[in-house]
C-alpha cells in the first residue's frame, strides 16, 4: 500500500506542476494580451491624431479658398459699382448737354441755302 501512496503523491505532484505551468502561461499570455491591447490603443490614438490633423489641414485649405473667393467677389462687385456710377454720370451729362444737331443734307453737301438762292436771283 505504500507504493500506492507514492503513486498518488507523484500523480498529485505532476498534476500540481501542470496546473501551475498552465496558470503561469495564462498569466504571461494575459500580460501579452494587455501589452497588445495597450499597443492597439496607442495605434488608435495615433490614427485619430493623424485624421484630426488631416481634417484641420483640409478645413484650413477650404477656408483659404473661401476667403480668396470672397475677396474676388468683393473686388468684382466694387468694379461693377464703379462702372455703374460712371454710366450714370455719363447718362446725366448726356441729358444736360442736349445740342441741336443740324442734319440738313443741303448744308452738309455744300448746296446753297434758301436765303442765298433768293439773293442770287
pLDDT tens per residue across span 32-42 = 777 888 899 99
- Indicate the pTM of the whole model: 0.44
pLDDT at 101 over 90: no
Q: Are 71 and 65 in contact (CB under 8 A)?
A: no
Secondary structure, 3-state, the chain: CHHHHHHHHHHHHHHHHHHHHHHHHHHHHHHHHHHHHHHHHHHHHHHHHHHHHHHHHHHHHHHHHHHHHHHHHHHHHHHHHHHHHHHHHHHHHHHHCCCCCCCCHHHHCCCCCHHHHHHHC
Q: In this predicted structure, what is the pLDDT of residue 4?
A: 79
Residue that wins the pLDDT comparison between 118 and 94: 94
Tell me what the mean pLDDT of segment 59-86 comes to.
94
pLDDT at 87 over 60: yes
Amino acid at each position: 500500500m505504500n507504493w500506492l501512496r507514492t503513486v498518488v503523491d507523484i500523480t498529485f505532484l505532476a498534476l500540481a506542476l501542470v496546473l501551475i505551468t498552465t496558470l503561469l502561461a495564462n498569466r504571461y499570455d494575459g500580460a501579452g494580451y494587455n501589452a497588445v491591447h495597450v499597443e492597439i490603443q496607442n495605434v488608435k490614438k495615433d490614427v485619430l491624431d493623424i485624421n484630426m490633423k488631416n481634417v484641420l489641414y483640409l478645413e484650413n485649405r477650404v477656408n483659404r479658398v473661401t476667403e480668396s473667393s470672397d475677396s474676388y467677389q468683393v473686388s468684382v462687385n466694387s468694379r461693377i459699382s464703379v462702372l455703374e456710377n460712371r454710366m450714370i454720370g455719363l447718362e446725366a451729362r448726356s441729358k444736360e448737354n442736349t445740342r441741336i444737331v443740324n442734319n440738313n443734307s443741303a448744308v452738309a453737301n455744300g448746296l446753297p441755302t434758301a436765303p442765298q438762292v433768293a439773293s442770287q436771283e
